[in-house]
Amino acid sequence: MADRFRALRDRLRRQAQRRVSRLAGEYERRQEALEVVSRNEQARLDAELKALEERLERSRKLDLSRILDDAMLGDLSNALLLPDSSWLKPPPPPSLWARIRAAFARLVAFFRRLFGRGTPAPPEKSKGRSLTFAIPTGAGRSLGASEIGDALARLTPSQQEEFRGNLSRTIEAKERDVRQEAEEKRKEAERQRRSLEAEREEAKRRAEKEVDSRVREAEAKRVDRELRERGLVAEREGQLQVTYGLVERFARLLLEEESRELAKDPRLSPQGSASTGIYEKARLLRADEVAHLDLPSSVVAARLQGLKHIDETTSFIYREVTSERVHVVLAFDKSGSMAEGEKLPAAKKALLALYVAIRRRHPDATIDVVAFENEVRVLDLLELWECSPGAFTNTAEALRTAHLLLRSTRASRKEVYLITDGLPEAYTDEDGRVRAGQLEVALDRALERAGELATVKPLKACLILLRSEHPEYEVAARKLAERLQGELVVTDPKHLGVELLIRWIGGTETIRKAPQVQALPARSAAAPARTGRRRKADRRMGG
């Protein structure tokens, strides 16, 4: 199922990658088009600037007596029509002496006309502006080539110098405008480029987010379908709920993970290599006994009969004569204090792993999972995984329940493992009511129940205390372990699973050690290859 999920995820991500690639290609095309427009616009502005610089250079060398360059007519017209030019301003008002002289001249002219002497003087021309050559049009004022030539011919030398300055300033103003336009175009192109890049990144982010969403949705649908088909989840009241099968498979994974930390010793392996009974070598009678086939003996028997392959007549198996009956009680504290940190989840995982380990080595074992807080309940694996924290710690009632479960069994191996994180806080009185708050009474009741449980024989008891900052917790746990005649283990939640497994399989090392290379003693030539003790051990085999 994991392989199918991986293939589904890879296929969806390949599809998404193609879609993202197409999206990136589209944005690249848009960016290339933007670059082309920007380059064309920049080339146009550069050409215009170059033309303005050439016109400015020609204006400085311009001969005003003759104008041969038609491209300069617009600049000449603009320079002539500048409002603040001196030749467009009215002449200054005459002085007092000039007015007196003018009045005296008019008086002399009057007497001359009166007495008939001399010809009449022509009327004096009005002196307005020195140049009046503007031709009004709909778009403003403009000048033709002939008007420009006439105007330039009437300019005085000082006005010609002023005109040259006006012409240079006009062209320079246009050049500044073009440069400013070029800078604005560059900034606008850069802004569009950044905007397009940001849009591209945002589109890529949305596409990747959509991909992740689609992958999760597809995986959820596939997981739902797979788990339904395998019976690992079931729909109850419109909601999916886990089944016993899913919890059991999860427990197997937990066991494999925890087993990696065990000491590398076949005798300490939880995979079922230890002996659970007494076996004898015999002929194969049923097909289901092939699992216990003694391959070397079967091959030898076939060769002695001249056969190339073994068959039913030459097959030997190890048949179990007596078996070991096991009864294990797994009790764990699910009071309110177990909700702190990862205590309760760690206890659940550790018990699931130990449950599977016991089943692998002893398939017919009786395993009772007991959860205790104010009250005590016997749970299956599904209820174990779904249980939630409760109230106070009623250790005495948990020990009483374990005693009731183990005293009536006929198992040859009886074990109890109790996980807690603190002091006994509650107890059940003679009337069946739970009382809490009296720690000394609760501890005394727990010690009394521990003594009753210790009367069960044979019994292997192990009390696991989750490490705490309060030293009195360990003192109380040690008293309970002594009364149970068992072992006390103080550990952290993350090491709880390994500690349970190593105690159950009878080991003491919880950390895998590196192998040590030792020199083997020299073997004597007279030493037999197989001793009688080895042959006797061959008659026993793990279940």
Q: What is the pLDDT of residues 207-262, one digit of tens each?
A: 778 878 887 888 778 777 777 777 777 777 777 777 877 888 888 888 888 888 77
Claim to verify: residue 361 and residue 488 sit in the same structural domain? yes
**343 and 312 part of one domain:** no
- Residues 296 and 302: their CA atoms lie apart, in Å, by 10
Residues 295-332: tens digit of each pLDDT = 888 888 888 888 877 877 788 887 765 567 899 999 99
User: 459 or 141, which is more confident?
Assistant: 459
Confidence (pLDDT) at 119: 55
**Does 347 lie in the same domain as 371?**
yes
Beta carbons of 51 and 246 less than 8 angstroms apart: no
- State the number of CA atoms in the 13 A half-sphere of 128 facing the CB: 4
Higher pLDDT, 200 or 421: 421
Is 267 contained in some domain? Answer: no
- Other C-beta atoms closer than 10 Å to the C-beta of 66 total 8
| Domain assignment present for 192 | yes
Same domain, 81 and 155: yes
CA dist 317 and 280 (Å) reads: 8
pLDDT category at 507 given cuts 50, 70, 90 is low
How far apart CA 433 and CA 136 sit, in angstroms, is: 115
The identity of residue 22, as a single letter, is R
The residue segments making up the domain with residue 80 are 2-86+144-204
Q: Tell me the β-bridge partners of 236.
A: 239
pTM higher than 0.75, yes or no?
A: no
**pLDDT value, residue 514:** 40
Backbone angles phi, psi at 464, to 5 degrees: -110, 120
Residue 139 located in a structural domain:
no
Give the pair of three-digit tokens for residue 255: 């066991």
Are 343 and 486 part of one and the same domain?
Answer: yes
DSSP string, 251-266: HHHHHHHHHTTS-S-G
Same domain, 293 and 164: no
Same domain, 350 and 485: yes
Query: Is residue 160, in this structure, part of any structural domain at all?
Result: yes
Same domain, 28 and 41: yes
**Same-domain status, 33 and 181:** yes
- Give the chain's end-to-end CA distance (angstroms, integer): 30
377 compared with 23, residue with greater pLDDT: 377
Written as six digits, the tokens of 316 are 């030997």
Are residues 372 and 313 located together in one domain of the fold?
Answer: no
Residue 91 lies in a domain: no
Number of domains in the chain: 3
Give residues with Cβ within 8 angstroms of 466, minimum separation 6. Answer: 343, 419, 420, 421, 490, 491, 492, 493, 496
299 within some domain: yes
